[in-house]
Structure 1
Amino acid sequence: MTAILHPSTNLGPVSLRISNLAQSVRFYTEVVGLKMLRQHGRVAELTADGKQPLLIVEEVQDLVRPQTRTAGLYHFAILVPDRESLGLALANLIAHNIPVGQGDHLVSEALYINDPDGNGIEIYADRPQDTWKRDAKGEYVMTTDPVDVEGLLALSKDKEWYGLPEGTVIGHVHFHVSRLQDARAFYCDVLGFEVTAHYGDAALFISAGGYHHHIGLNVWAGRGIPNTPRSAAGIEDYSIVLPSHEELEAVTGRIREAGLQLEQRDGVWAVQDPSDIWIRLVVA
């Protein structure tokens, strides 16, 4: 089955399972810089623009910590509009004494943190797309070099932190998977993402419309590992935003043709990937 997603496809909100709603809301507002949009019961919707949810956190009682590494969330990635916004985010993380990992990936500059339940978060800014380079195979050249931390902090010097700015979106999601070939078959052959880069035989980056990656897939946690149980912290679902109902019909048609189960979740079609992560198929 060969298919290519519409180039206007992008990602929507991410939903996480967490252990303590008040603790997570405080972290995601004060440390990450999102704003409360609404709360209902044990669920909070957080936003950057004050209009649309970017992150949904749901408190699940008695979460367990798996005794082995599992397939599931590596990190979800919050894309800010520019380097100044990234510098302000970094300064705020430092002010809160948050341990920060970092990587200059050539196509982007990224900061890495964990939330109180260990869910991985990347906050990043893209470099201009006309500076992204491809190798002889046509794949994007990406690496992990040190970030120019001093340069980022210089951009934020003497500026006020008001949280993540309007224009902040979910840029990509990155998963530990059990079998890379199964993940590729689902995401590329069925859904229609295109391969943009490999890291040897252990990681794969895929996207729609020529972006460096909307989804990262890796076996760095081990091959053949079990999926993260729903009784543990992690990602519950995320949205793929399609540009039209015609594109939705094409994608759902391929899913059915592959013999996979579609379900209605909150009024939209959803399917599980090989790691049991729900994907909501939303029309923009």
Structure 2
Amino acid sequence: MSTTYQIPATTHLGEVSLKISNLDRSIQFYTDVVGLKLLTRQDHIATMTADGKNVLLRLEEVSNSITLPERSHAGLYHFAILLPDRKSLGLAVRNLVASGIDIGQGDHLVSEAFYISDPDLNGIEIYADRPRDTWKRDADNNYVMASDPVDVQSLFDLSASETWDGLPAGTVIGHVHFHVRSLEEARSFYSGILGFDVVGNFANMSALFVSAGGYHHHLGLNIWAGVNAPINPANATGINYFTIVYAHNHEVEQAVERLRESGVEVRPDGDAWYAADPQNIGIRLIAEA
């Protein structure tokens, strides 16, 4: 297998699927607190959208489910909802505050972000990017990032005259961040096989960020749950799969071939292909509609 493969720069992320314990409760949370809209519901599965057309989140109720303590297993740290601008972020934060939920925050220099958890302890980041021409890299070509306090008041001031009506069209899944068993194993899989570029080798934080097309990160990978952290049982709430969206079918086929050449099982289902990473986190590969 070629070792020089680089994932196409136009690649981005799509739909995230979560396993949850109570569908009614999760629909209400993601509608009222997060600001998504219900798109479809059938039996134990619902899909959520921002624009009324594209699925951003799929919720699957798991019978006899268990919710494990945070940072105890390999799996989801958070999935990140990217808003189109600061005004939209200000409105979303106003709604989060009104809901009374616990909120974390961080000015990461490349972005401004807020953090919450859903009723099953699935982590969620809601953020807006700063202009790409303001992002800086260090001498090792890693993006310079921080966790400074966000200027919340300026976000409130920017959105003061606007009315909250849920997350706007243009909202997308910006990135996903996982607890992994080994950073070396994760790097070999996501960079070595799938071809994501390393854009943040943060050894001091026990974390690795990778992306396509120079983005600050499409995947965050950390060992904060411990090296060789146990894999989630099948009935545990958490990540089911995330979606990698390629521009063209031949790019999907190339990724599938690389996975198979590396001994990873890949199966087709409709227009998508499904695989799993070393943590048994599902990966859905599709071409742009």
TM-score class, shorter-chain normalisation, is: over 0.9
Matches within 5 A, 1:1-284: 1-66=3-68, 69-200=72-203, 202-284=206-288
> C-alpha deviations, 1:223-250, integer Å up to 9, x for none?
1111111211101011100011111121
Tell me the matched-pair count.
284
> Which AA in structure 2 matches 1:231?
N
Contiguous gaps of at least 5 residues in structure 2: none
- Partner Cα separation in structure 2 for residue 170 and residue 125 of structure 1: 11
Q: Name the SS of the counterpart of 1:160 in structure 2.
A: coil
- Partner Cα separation in structure 1 for residue 134 and residue 47 of structure 2: 35
Q: CA deviation at 1:60?
A: 0.8
> C-alpha deviations, 1:188-210, integer Å up to 9, x for none?
00001000012225100000000
Q: Name the SS of the counterpart of 1:95 in structure 2.
A: helix
- Partner Cα separation in structure 2 for residue 209 and residue 119 of structure 1: 28
- Partner Cα separation in structure 2 for residue 66 and residue 162 of structure 1: 33
> Which AA in structure 2 matches 1:243?
A
- Partner Cα separation in structure 1 for residue 116 and residue 179 of structure 2: 17
When the two structures are superposed, what TM-score results if normalisation uses the length of structure 1?
A: 0.98
Q: Is the CA contact 1:75–1:175 (under 8 Å) kept in the aligned structure 2?
A: yes
- Partner Cα separation in structure 1 for residue 68 and residue 238 of structure 2: 11
When the two structures are superposed, what TM-score results if normalisation uses the length of structure 2?
A: 0.96
Q: Is the CA contact 2:67–2:120 (under 8 Å) kept in the aligned structure 1?
A: no
Identity over the aligned pairs, expressed in percent?
55
Q: Is the CA contact 2:271–2:286 (under 8 Å) kept in the aligned structure 1?
A: no
Q: Name the SS of the counterpart of 1:235 in structure 2.
A: strand
RMSD (Å) for aligned C-alpha atoms: 1.1
Q: Is the CA contact 1:2–1:190 (under 8 Å) kept in the aligned structure 2?
A: no
> C-alpha deviations, 1:88-127, integer Å up to 9, x for none?
0000001110110000000000000000000000000000
Q: CA deviation at 1:156?
A: 1.7
**Cα pair distance change 1:174/1:129, threshold 3 Å:** same
Q: CA deviation at 1:266?
A: 4.6
Contiguous gaps of at least 5 residues in structure 1: none
> Which AA in structure 2 matches 1:145?
D
- Partner Cα separation in structure 1 for residue 101 and residue 230 of structure 2: 30
